[in-house]
Chains A and B, each alone.
Chain A
Amino acid sequence: MGMFEAILLTVITAATPLLLAAIGELVVERSGVLNLGVEGMMILGAVMGFAAAQATGSPYAGALCAMLAGMTLALLFGFLTIHLVANQVATGLALTLLGLGLAGMIGEAFVGRPGVRLQAIDIPVLSDLPVVGRILFGQDLLVYISLALVAAVTYVLFHTRVGLVIRAVGDNHGSAHALGVSVRKVRYLAVLFGGACAGLAGGYLSLAYTPQWIEGMTAGRGWIALALVVFATWRPLRLLAGAYLFGAVGIMQFHAQAHGFGIPSQFLSALPYAATIAVLVIISRNRILTRINTPACLGRPFVPDR
């Protein structure tokens, strides 16, 4: 296995959790809700996924449990912000802190225990192809799921009525309400979907990326996922590109350190955020881009008059 192939493999594993968490958040934000609790939902997903895999021996049960954990926190977020109309930013930040705290407490017993690894799926023949074989056809299930999700979200958002309703709610919740769309229901479902994706992303970390439990193992990936959504200007295909780019930057940190390049690792770890700021500057200069892709109701509370 060549060096290049090895790096590419690690880029995929680094990009997948970002992609999973970000594609969920993209749908949430398209519906007009800003959930800053991605990091919290991820880490709870990571610890619950690890625990369930330990208990059952099945990494798939772990992944399922990770999703449920993310959805539980998302439901709490939805209840507070959609139902009780609490401030979304404050609630999201609180959710992150809650998730980190809860995960630390639950995970205390698991520190240092070996985990159950999610095995790669070897597609016979194809995975033996030179160069591309392992990369394209020898990944674990979640990698394929993350890619399928991007395709599915793209299709649903832009080619189905459900997607149209989600975008409409995010663009103008008042009008959507006036047309008879249940704004709250749409947002609840979007937030739950986002929670499931974030939980699964966390599960990927503790089941595939490094199959063990380490406190704080999400290490800011939830925040990168949030930045990624803006970086992608709320478009799924750009999100895919961004996730792999950010994943590559993350991997570069290790290699830069290992090979003693003169780049401080702090600089590289700051790169995704700097890139996001740069993108924000660029898209805010082009207002048509901002207007058409940015959900206009993002973060704005909705209270139906009745």
Chain B
Amino acid sequence: MTATTPTDPPAIGRDRQGDILLEARGITKRFGDILANDDVSIALRAGEIHALLGENGAGKSTLVKILYGALEPNGGTLHWQGREVTIASPAEARKLGIGMVFQHFSLFEALTVAENIALALPRGTAMRELSARIREVSRDYGLTLDPQAIVADLPVGIRQRIEIVRCLLQEPQLIIMDEPTSVLTPQEADQLFLTLERLTLEGCAILYISHRLEEVKRICHHATVMRHGKVISECDPARETAASLARMMVGSAVHDLKRGPRPDAGAVRLELRGLSAPADGPFSVAIDTVDLQVRGGEVVAIAGIAGNGQGELFDLVSGERLSSSGSVQIDGQAAGRSGITARRRAGAAFVPEERLGHGAVPGLRLSENIVLTRHSTGDGLVRGGFVDTDRAGELEKRIKNNFGVRMSHDDAEARALSGGNLQKFVIGRELDRQPGVLVVNQPTWGVDAGAAALIRQELIDLSRQGSAVLVISQDLDEIFEIADRIAVISRGHLSEAEPAETMTRERIGLLMGGMEDRQGGATHAA
């Protein structure tokens, strides 16, 4: 183990030479009974990309919000260039020279790019000048932007650029980035890494939060690992392996997934045949003649950048939106015109991306949420119009135990569960049925490493029992871990599913960018 405890001087790693820009000492933050940050200390140096690692709920976001002035610590001190400071608001943080690129975009959809950026800059910035500066900076860093575009019209990759350019225009000395690459193609991410490198050469400090450990190993000079609100260790990520980093985060070894041999091709259990649908409004994507077969025994994954039709495709497959009769077939039966319940009865199960509000009703207890998707799938939950609450309670206990769903009290309301636990529950609810066809959108979105490994293992196990599993995901690591075949969705068009062994990240990246499409289009035109 090369990690040291935070009290030891960081003896390992490349020389940490930069001056300490921002130092937090003994930061404590309490929410009710929960200690979100417990005596956390971190020192960020100029010219260094500093990774902040930890599972969901480890206290990373709390710490970052404190550093950015959005939260007030209950204890501890902040030191900016050796001077003790209080950062009472984000505006004060910006005045010191701290910029932040948010994970959940903090953009205003109804406003233009220039207006969004103007809001983060000091008063008195003339709009006309600003547009020119935006063009200049975005060109300099290879992050092209149109200042007059309205954010609502822009895809997520571009929105991430706005966040970054907005941050750069503040000319910060410290940039905090929360999961900046989660919506970027591999190529776009590479571009971002070049930008970051350039910034560090200019003397900028960067605090980098990411769940993607390979990425952290590649670009970060130093890492602080948090668990349960405490700093567990510091290390040089380049000298660690992804597995050793994950072990520090989780506190125990994360088991490698057991894939087992892929069974011989089973029967086609889910088939999409020429599935098309027009865009459902300006922010939605048209689905363009999607053909896909998922056989029993395999996991097929659909990769793609957010906003390329994943949600629309999921709606069509699950029956939230209807299509022509034969375009969706479950176990050989035409289901395109059947609703969700009919498709569930045919043996399919669906887990949408948004777990709270779509996958589960926030104000209902878990047992009630079970009834909502399983009322007519032969579980005996509804008898003569009455809900069998005892039976629902039994199921709730079974799912809770089998999937390790943790909650403060029995049969809690869905909204009381943490994101990872609720995700375990909504996936467990469907897996518990042993469905013949399972369609999952973003199975481990925002779920920590331990829970993600469990969910992925369950998906593989289900397929190996003869079910067809279709996973829509933006996480390439996840896709390569679980998928037997991979297809890529780009602007509503699905590439042919190819065996995972022959797919490379580069190729997926090109398909995500619609490169193949364009070439195809060119030949058509010629």
Q: Which residues of A contact B (CB under 8 A)?
A: 161, 164-165, 167-168, 171-172, 174-181, 287-288, 291-296, 305-306
Contact = CB atoms under 8 A, between A and B. Distances in A.
Given A181-B119, A288-B152, A293 B110 contact: yes
Contacts of A172: 106-109
Interface residues of B, number: 29
A179 B283 contact: no
A165 B71 contact: no
Given A178-B102, A179-B90, A305 B71 contact: yes
B118 A164 contact: yes
B119 A179 contact: yes
Contact of A161 (B108, B123, B283): B123
Contact of B108 (A167, A287, A293, A305): A167
Interface of B: 69-72, 89-92, 94, 100, 102, 105-111, 115, 118-120, 123, 150, 152-153, 281-283
A167 B111 contact: yes
A168 B108 CA distance: 6
A22 to B, nearest CB: 20
Contacts of B91: 179-180
A303 to B, nearest CB: 14
Contacts of A165: 119
28 contacts: A161-B118, A164-B119, A167-B108, A167-B110, A167-B111, A168-B108, A171-B109, A171-B111, A175-B102, A175-B106, A175-B108, A179-B106, A179-B119, A180-B89, A180-B91, A180-B94, A287-B281, A287-B282, A287-B283, A288-B152, A288-B153, A291-B152, A295-B110, A296-B109, A296-B110, A305-B70, A305-B71, A306-B72
**Could you tell me the dominant secondary structure of chain B's interface residues?**
loop
Contact of B70 (A178, A181, A295, A296): A178
A293 B110 CA distance: 7
Given A178-B90, A180-B69, 18 more contacts: A164-B115, A167-B108, A171-B108, A171-B110, A172-B106, A172-B108, A174-B106, A175-B105, A175-B107, A176-B119, A177-B70, A178-B102, A178-B106, A179-B106, A181-B119, A287-B282, A292-B152, A294-B110
A147 B73 CA distance: 49
B110 A291 contact: yes
A220 B40 CA distance: 59
Contacts of B72: 306
A216 B108 CA distance: 41
A288 to B, nearest CB: 5
Given A174-B106, A179-B120, A168 B111 contact: yes
Contacts of A176: 108, 119
A167 B112 CA distance: 11
Nearest to B108: A171
A164 B100 CA distance: 21
The 9 A-B pairs at the shortest CB distance, nearest first, are namely A180-B91, A175-B106, A180-B90, A287-B281, A171-B108, A288-B282, A171-B110, A178-B106, A292-B110
A287 B280 CA distance: 10
Contacts of A164: 111, 115, 118-119
Nearest to A158: B115
B148 to A, nearest CB: 13
Contacts of A296: 109-110
A305 B94 CA distance: 19
Contacts of A181: 119
Contacts of B70: 177-178, 305
Nearest to A293: B110
A125 B511 CA distance: 74
Nearest to B282: A288
A305 B100 CA distance: 17
Contacts of B150: 292
A259 B118 CA distance: 57
B137 to A, nearest CB: 18
Q: Which of B91, B107, B119, B283 has the most CB of A within 10 A?
A: B119
Nearest to A165: B119
Contacts of B89: 180
Nearest to B100: A178
Contacts of B119: 164-165, 168, 176, 179, 181
Contacts of B100: 178
A306 B109 CA distance: 25
A171 B282 CA distance: 18
Nearest to A294: B110
Contacts of B102: 175, 178
